[in-house]
Amino acid sequence: MSRAAVSRAAVVIGAARGIGAATTRLLAETGWSVLAVDRGSDDPRLPYALGSVRMLEELATEAGSPAHPVVARVADTCDEAGLVGAIGEAEDRFGGVDAVITTAGVIAGGVPIWEMPAAQVEAVLDVDLGGVVVAARVGIPALLRRPEPRSGRFLAVSSTAASRGLPMLAAYGAAKAGVAGLVRGLAAELRGTGITANSVSPGSTATPILDESARLYGLDAASAFAGQHAIERLIRPEEVAAALVWLAGPAGAAITGIDLPVDGGLAL
């Protein structure tokens, strides 16, 4: 895709690092303007570090250009009022929003769900499902504010954990299965609007959340997950980003209501 191929505006939520940062970079490289959103602070309910404001600001500086800016914005995807402000800023700066891509997510588990601290179960369900619902409730009205004919995209990240029974990750799997169900329902609700809704389900992707998964399973390193894939290596965040950006572009126009595995054959 050439840099001049598209000139559109996206909001990426969960952008400070990992798959969201890779998606932001690829969008900016392929002609999109991006509002890059992240909570930029740790979640006190969880024992591992999340993305920081500094990471988000460095991403904006490195990935943006005068023609296709990347603007950093701190907001929590579970905070509806905060997200309304962020989406409003994107509309003010870019004249509208063509894609809302939510990659924000957290993980917890490592024990059966009945042994998890209640606050961790709540964090996983709040962020991994509730946060996507908020992103849809706030983001889709902005996509609908674009004049017809529209080509808006709502994209979320589910997980292989949605379709396989992964032990010690039941809360995470429940939230991610909810995301796949949500986009199917959204696709039906968006019938005739020109806007599509889809999710992508990564396998084990080399980002900090996978390091936390390895810790939850008592593994020395996340590289131990590579053998689960038919491709016998971890997935790179850029490979998940490529699927999201492809779905966001013109090639994705006829695809709606699906959950696309980017899992290196994990589900085989």
Ligand X SMILES: NC(=O)c1ccc[n+]([C@@H]2O[C@H](COP(=O)([O-])OP(=O)(O)OC[C@H]3O[C@@H](n4cnc5c(N)ncnc54)[C@H](O)[C@@H]3O)[C@@H](O)[C@H]2O)c1
Site for ligand X in 207-226 (CB under 6 A): 207-210
Cβ at position 185, least distance to ligand X in Å: 19
Q: Is position 38 an interface residue for ligand X (rule: CB under 6 A)?
A: yes
Q: From residue 70 to residue 109, what is the string marking binding to ligand X with x (rule CB under 6 A)?
A: ------xxx------------------------xxxx---
Q: Is position 59 an interface residue for ligand X (rule: CB under 6 A)?
A: no
9 vs 123, beta carbon nearer ligand X: 123
Distance CA 119, CA 13 (A): 23
Cβ at position 2, least distance to ligand X in Å: 27
Distance CA 205, CA 230 (A): 14
CB atoms within 10 A of CB 41: 14
Q: Helix (H, G, I), strand (E, B), or coil: what is residue 56?
A: helix
Site for ligand X in 159-198 (CB under 6 A): 159
Q: Is position 151 an interface residue for ligand X (rule: CB under 6 A)?
A: no
- Residue labelled with tokens 């969008």: 27
Edge-first strand listing for the sheet containing 196-202: 70-74, 32-38, 8-13, 99-102, 153-157, 196-202, 259-262
Candidates 28, 51, 100, 258; binder of ligand X (CB under 6 A) is: 51
Mind giving me the DSSP string for 97-159? -SEEEE-------SS-GGGS-HHHHHHHHIIIIIHHHHHHHHHHHHHHHSPSSP--EEEEE--
Q: Is position 261 an interface residue for ligand X (rule: CB under 6 A)?
A: no
Q: Is position 157 an interface residue for ligand X (rule: CB under 6 A)?
A: yes
Structure tokens given for 212? 């936390």
Q: Examine the residue annotation and report whether 172 is marked as an active-site residue of this protein.
A: yes
CB atoms within 10 A of CB 122: 15
Cβ at position 112, least distance to ligand X in Å: 20
69 vs 203, beta carbon nearer ligand X: 203
Binding site for ligand X (CB under 6 A): 13-14, 16-20, 38-39, 50-51, 76-78, 103-106, 127, 131, 157, 159, 202, 204-205, 207-210
